[in-house]
Amino acid sequence: MIPAAFDYVRATSLAHAIGLLRDDPDGAKLLAGGHTLLPSLKLRLASPALLIDIGGLAELKGIEISDGGIRIGALTTHAELFASEPLNKDLPLFRQAAGLIADPQVRNRGTVGGSLANADPAADWPAVMLALQAEFEIAGSKGFRRVPACDFFVDIFSTVLEPDEILTGIHIPQPKSGTRCVYRKIRHPASGFAVVGIAIAIRLTQNLVTDATVGVTGAANHAFAGEDAGDFLIGKTLSQENIDQAARLLSQATKCLSDRYASADYRANLIQVELKRALLALSS
């Protein structure tokens, strides 16, 4: 439980951090909240030569809400997302998801950017970002780019981030009036991570679904958007028959993971159960 020796630099600006990454893309690692990285160092699952602490970078902090949408800095902690009244007024799934992450210690230190960049297949935020059609702001030595959440997660613990890139923030389109959303998860009894987690945002006009977007975590190698299920619901009522069909489509959208706790079939069934529960909650 003792990490290999490493150097430590506290980055003084985004450009400083990017320069350090560019100089040693294979040997350096960013340190945000440290709640994934430090255990990995102690278990020697990672042994970087250099830790670049980005924790003091003001440009990666804060939640801004404007007519143009919502910007969440990558260093925003789970606890800050839980506590933000302006954010949760329209999008209560931030409080629901943050409240289901670990314990107060992890929530006070862990960051949304660290969670997304780490791409744990059972992490909570990826599902939320997929349902809200977020775009991720990325900075690197070649400049800035934005990547939609649906294109960001590549595989288990793998994203489109290049070794010299930093996730700086998350942009979420301003929710349309009347949008309802929910996040639900079945927690692994030992770790608390998602066996299956489902985030959904829908809008109903005169009982017909006009928008429906779904994000799923825990079930597969990486979080994914349930496009077929969402598209199926458009123009329909939330009748039991339509909910059942959307749940079937969602469970067929991926090859589910199988492990000692939950088989692929069990996870596929949980996808159906959780989507039905989420839609029933939103329809009442």
Ligand X SMILES: Cc1cc2nc3c(=O)[nH]c(=O)nc-3n(C[C@H](O)[C@H](O)[C@H](O)COP(=O)(O)OP(=O)(O)OC[C@H]3O[C@@H](n4cnc5c(N)ncnc54)[C@H](O)[C@@H]3O)c2cc1C
Which residues form the interface with ligand X (CB under 6 A)? 29-37, 39, 74, 101-102, 106, 110-111, 113-115, 117-118, 120, 123-124, 161, 166-167, 192-193
Q: Which is nearer to ligand X, 117 or 130 (CB)?
A: 117
Annotate 132-187 with DSSP letters as a single string: TT-EEEEEETTEEEEEEHHHHEEETTEES--TT-EEEEEEEPPPPTT-EEEEEEEE
Q: Which is nearer to ligand X, 83 or 102 (CB)?
A: 102
CB of 66 to ligand X, least distance (A): 22
Q: How far apart are the first and last CA of the chain?
A: 50
Q: Which is nearer to ligand X, 119 or 249 (CB)?
A: 119
Residues 6+ apart with CB under 8 A from 6: 41, 47, 48, 49, 50, 51
CB of 253 to ligand X, least distance (A): 21
Question: What distance in Å separates the CA atoms of residue 209 and residue 104, rounded to the nearest whole number?
Answer: 37
Q: Which is nearer to ligand X, 197 or 226 (CB)?
A: 197
CB of 208 to ligand X, least distance (A): 34
240-251 and 264-283 helices cross at what angle (nearest 10)? 150
Q: Is 91 exposed, middle or buried (0-12, 13-18, 19+ CB in 10 A)?
A: buried
Q: Which is nearer to ligand X, 45 or 234 (CB)?
A: 45
CB of 139 to ligand X, least distance (A): 9
CB of 52 to ligand X, least distance (A): 8
